[in-house]
Structure 1
Amino acid sequence: MQPKRFFLFGLVLLLAGCSTLTPDYHRPAAPVAAAWPGDAPATAGSRPLAAIPWQEYFLAPQLRQVIDLALKNNRDLRLALLNIERARAAYRIQRADLFPQLDGTGSSTARHLPADLSGTGRQSTTRQYNVGLGLSAYELDLFGRVRSLKDQALQQYLATAEAQRSVQISLIAEVAGSYLNLAADQERLQLAQKTMANQQAAYGLVERRYDAGVASALDLQQAKTSVEAARVDIARYTTLVAQDKNALTLAAGTTVPAELLPTSLDQNLTALTEVAPGLPSTVLLARPDILQAEHQLQAANANIGAARAAFFPRITLTGALGIGSSELSGLFSGGSLTWNFVPQVTVPIFDAGSSRAGLEVAKVDQKIAVARYEKAIQIAFGEVADALARRGTIDEQMAAQQALTAADAESYRLSQARYDKGVDSYLNVLDAQRSLFGARQQLIGTKLVKFDNLVTLYKALGGGS
């Protein structure tokens, strides 16, 4: 019966070692609606943005090259990659605790005793040689403590990897946004310079009419005022262009070559692929920041298993197997085998509530992780909903702004014709000119909003990397 008992005991240990005390993981339900609010456009067969590489989304060749520069040189992305390497190494360290650690040893000991300490009345010298393998405090993971810690380290590593993806997506969106802002301000600067040239020409005409006694001094001063106003706009947009270049350089992590810089938004009218987000809100679960939060939740869940295991005995094994001899020549001869085996059982008896408090901390951490996961989903849902709300009206806004600009252009033409014929004052020309300049500036801003909206959707829907 005794061999059978040993067999059953070993089977119990084996089965115990195949499980952990970690609670079963269940993904929390998303605390958002299943569909996007409003009349969001839908397209059958749409691919989630997470499955679309950024090269297929951003189509302008110059913008692609600038993004590629950023992916190679941006320091935030570099730090994220280094964090992944660190987390991967930490996981390997924790995983190694599942296996015994064997160390090879070799030693030589010499000991000399004087005559009055030798016990024989004569001085003596003894030597000992040892070679062996040692097992150092290997824990039998009967209750899954080590496995739970390994699972926790794995989920932390996976969370770090998702954090890197999140940084990369944010970086791509930041570069695209900086690129578009520079393009818009370049176009605004060109408009201000063109307006300045037109104002100077108009001022020269009014000045000649004034010298001929046809125009008044008020007309001349009003024309001069419009020239100086255009000069102010040029200075302002020149500053903004310089600042936009600095922002793009910072995002790219290196100086962007001049040939890659945009000159206006017109060349980018088809630079970005239109998005068809006709998918349920569950596509948000593919966003890297949400995946990161879920991995952190799973890590907290695994930590509960490790905290529960602290209530149970821990068995560690320490031992060594080798050969020893007092003579080096006899080290490998028969009868030189040495060994020791030191199993140790640690049974928790009294720790003043430390283990129970540790379990409570682990459970609270898990609840915190659930709340963070749900909050990440809600934030993502809000970002997408806002972007879709903007996308639903931007085309209508663009058409209205284009019609307004065309109407202002016609008003300016008519007011200039009336002034040239002496029917109207120059003040009406200036008013029409200011309205036209403002409408053109607003048109540039509306185009920028449309492109920025596409960039926002790329980021909010977890664009592919």
Structure 2
Amino acid sequence: MSKLILPSLLALAIGVSGCTLAPRYERPGLPVAQDWSVAAPAASDARLSWRSLFTDTALQKTIELALQNNRDLRVATLNVQKARAQYGIERAGLFPSLDASGSGTKTHTDAGGDNNAYTANLGLSWELDLFGRVQSLKNAAKEDFFASQENRNAAQISLIAAVADAWIGLAADQDALKLAQQTYTSLNDAYGIAQKQASFGAISDLDLNQIETEMQQARANAAADATFVDQDKAALTLLVGADVPADLLPSGLSDAMVAESIPVGLPSDVLLNRPDVLAAEHDLKAYNADIGAARAAFFPSISLTGSAGSASSQLGDLFKSGNGKWSYGANISVPIFSGGANLNALRSAKVSRDIAVAQYERAIQSAFSDVNSALAVRARIDERLQAQSASSQAAQRSLDLSQARYQAGADSYLTLLTAQRTLYASQSSLISLKALKARNLVALYAALADDDSLN
């Protein structure tokens, strides 16, 4: 009868393998509206690739350099490998473990002389996962692994977007620096002429001081913009993780830097495929599996043990026929009293699952807000650009008229300085809006990108 125990337990273990006490997983409902708050471009079958959106060759090469060298992305990749190894550890618990051992002893007594004993053993131990504890732990580790993969993908998308945004920001600051330098050069020339005019009494000291004030302010603006450019380069170098070659740096803003638009689908199609949302869902599934492991702790734990080997008093005879030995057994452990530890472990697992649900819903709401905010900018950016461009053209005409009137003696130099100041402010705003339009597409990419957008 005893010979049937081990085969019966093995058959039972195989029959129930894969069963767990974890609750059935159900994806929470979408905690956002069914459509965007702002009209969005129609969805497209084309894959949302960063290479098709960021069209400048130098920008693409800078992003590629960052993907090779950025340390944060490297850490995220290593975390995936770590999670894969942890999954392998938990999965190994489903299989028997085998250990080999050997020993040799020599004893001496005055009556019996020398006695030798040699043994060699192959030991087996196996926890029968009748109630799915090990299976649940394996499932939780698997979901942790999947979550780490999605976190890595989210890190890559964030890196691509951050590099593109920093690169465009550098281009905008370079344009701002050029404008400030041109303005300073113009005012410095005007101040030199004004000094000569003041020496002949052609203009008053007040006009001369006003010109100098504007000239020095333009000089300060140029110095500030030069600082911003240097800071942008340092930030870009940190993001890339290596020195960025000079030929990959932008020379200023260009309409050809990025694509004109980006397709947007429905919230239910877009949000559920974002890597950060997928990672949050895998975390939720992992906590759901932990409930199964906590429930299994209330049930008996059964383990099989066995060994086979040989024993001999002579090392040379150790593996000869007739020296074999074997044993097997089954151990059962039944939880009776643990001071409430198992009950509170189950409660903790359930609360952790509820926290993960809230975090999953929060991730979706955050993603929805990201897309809505980017769409709100996109909806009116072209109108703002048209208006600002028209404003800059009007400011240029005002300056031309003011210069003519000043030369004709009809206006004071203060009126001319006001026109110059207005044109500078208008052109600066135009540069900022052009950069905002390009950066808005970067923000849309970061908000909409999924795992298929990484190439």
Q: How does 1:104-119 map to 2 (within 5 A)?
A: 104-112=100-108, 114-115=109-110
Alignment equivalent of 1:264, drawn from 252, 264, 267: 252
Partner of 2:297: 310
For residues 345-360 of structure 1, the aligned pairs below 5 Å read 345-360=332-347
Aligned partner of 2:436 in structure 1 is 449
2:36 is matched with 36
- Which region of structure 1 is more displaced relative to structure 2, 219-228 or 347-356? 219-228
Check 1:342–1:15 CA distance in 2 against 1; reply closer, same or farther (3 A cut). closer
Please name the residue that 2:403 is paired with. 416
Deviates more, 1:294-303 or 1:208-217: 208-217
| TM-superposed deviation, 1:76 | 1.0
Q: 2:266 aligns with which of 264, 268, 280?
A: 280
1:225-270 CA-to-partner distances (Å, cap 9, x unmatched) read 221111111111111111111111111111112221112113xx12
CA pair 367-407 structure 1, distance change in 2 beyond 3 A: same
Moved more, 180-189 or 53-62: 53-62
CA contact (8 A) 1:284 1:462 kept: no
State the AA in 2 paired with 1:349. I
Gaps of 5+ in 2: none
Q: Secondary structure at the match of 1:202?
A: helix
Q: Does 1:407 align with 2:403?
A: no
Residue 88, structure 1, aligned to residue 84, structure 2: yes
CA distance in 2 between partners of 1:5 and 1:96 (Å): 24
Tell me the percent identity.
47
Hey, what's the Cα distance between the residues in 1 that align with 2:156 and 2:259? 19
Q: Kindly report which structure 2 residues correspond to 1:314-325, keeping only aligned pairs within 5 A, or say none.
A: 314-325=301-312
Partner of residue 63 from structure 2, selected from 60, 67, 82: 67
Task: Tell me how far 1:5 sits from its aligned partner.
Answer: 11
Q: For 1:20, give the aligned amino acid.
A: T
Q: Which amino acid aligns with 1:153?
A: A
Q: CA deviation at 1:30?
A: 1.1
Q: Is 2:116 the partner of 1:127? A: yes
The more displaced of 23-32 and 333-342 is 333-342
How many angstroms does 1:211 deviate by? Answer: 4.3
1:374 matched to 2:361? The reply is yes
Q: TM-score normalized by structure 1?
A: 0.92
CA displacement at 1:46 relative to structure 2: 4.5
Structure 1 vs Structure 2 CA RMSD:
2.2
Q: CA deviation at 1:140?
A: 0.5
User: Over residues 158-205 of structure 1, what are the superposed CA-to-partner deviations in whole Å (9 max), with x where a residue is unaligned?
Assistant: 111111111111111111111111111111111111111111222233
**CA displacement at 1:213 relative to structure 2:** 4.2
TM-score, normalization by structure 2: 0.94
Deviates more, 1:403-412 or 1:124-133: 124-133
What do the CA deviations read for 1:248-294 (whole angstroms, capped 9, x no partner)?
1111111112221112113xx12112343331102111111101100
Residues 311, 355 of structure 1: 8 Å contact kept: yes
Look up the SS of the partner of 1:80 in the other structure: helix
Displacement after TM superposition at 1:75 (Å): 1.3
Aligned residues: 451
Question: 1:342 aligns to what SS in structure 2?
Answer: strand
Which residue does the alignment assign to 1:19? 19
- How far off its partner does 1:155 sit? 0.5
Structure 1, unmatched stretches of 5+, are: 116-121
1:77 is matched with which residue: 68, 73, 87? Answer: 73
User: Which amino acid in structure 1 is aligned with residue 93 of structure 2?
Assistant: D
Instruction: Give 1:32 shift.
Output: 0.7
- Summarize the alignment of residues 170-249 of structure 1 with structure 2, pairs less than 5 Å apart: 170-249=158-237
Counterpart of 1:280, as a letter, is L
* Equivalent pair of 2:262/2:444 in contact (CA under 8 Å): no
| Structure 1 counterpart SS, 2:346 | helix
